[in-house]
Amino acid sequence: MNGSNAQANPDALLPLLHTDEEAVAFFACVADLDATDPASHALDDGVRLASGARLEQFARAASGDAFCFVGEGGEERPVVYVSLDGEAGPLALGLPELVRLCLVVPWWQDAPGRTPTELQALADEYREGWPDLDRRRDRAARALGLDPAGLPSEAAALARLVELSQGPVAASCLVIGYEGEPLDPLFGTHHP
């Protein structure tokens, strides 16, 4: 997922995700990543990284789940998803990678534990609900300065999620819940 679509300014995506009409229309509505009201993004008290590194929420899902940057820096920081259901894990190494994931597989939250056949059925079902998904995706990508033709395949995007969930990034992004216990992994073996 590391990409061929380099941005002129690597910290230019987040402002577009909460101000650009095309980007907001796709990310907040289709991909369930809402960065439109940054002041409202705050993690529950006690939710933190086991390493002690900074965990900074920058967007939320409609459910209240959190998209967070790990550590100090800009949009190049790892991105962790923290679910209100007690799950958390890395999604991307930087906002550009997360943007590509959400553009290609906006239904990624439903992917854990599914077979390739089930993933295809899930993708088909999602497309039925959003018959103009490709057009919306392409418009959002262009609004962010990305060439839609340079986006990864669905399979590559999902493989990257699994790779991040099982490697050293996952260990460095271990999230502790407000009760002091590690949250379950997003792509762990406990999924059906």
* pTM, two decimal places: 0.89
Query: For residues 183 and 163, what is the distance between their CA atoms, to the nearest angstrom?
Result: 19
Query: For residues 70 and 41, what is the distance between their CA atoms, to the nearest angstrom?
Result: 15
The ranges assigned to domains in the chain are: 13-181
Give the E-state strand segments of 61-179 in sequence order.
Answer: 66-70, 78-82, 87-93, 175-176
Residue 82: strand pairing partners: 66, 88
Name the one residue in this structure whose structure tokens are 């910290």: 11
**Chain segment 82-123, per-residue pLDDT in tens:** 998 899 999 999 999 999 999 999 999 888 778 888 888 999
Residue 116 has phi, psi (to 5 degrees) of -55, -40
**Chain segment 147-172, per-residue pLDDT in tens:** 999 999 999 999 898 899 888 999 99
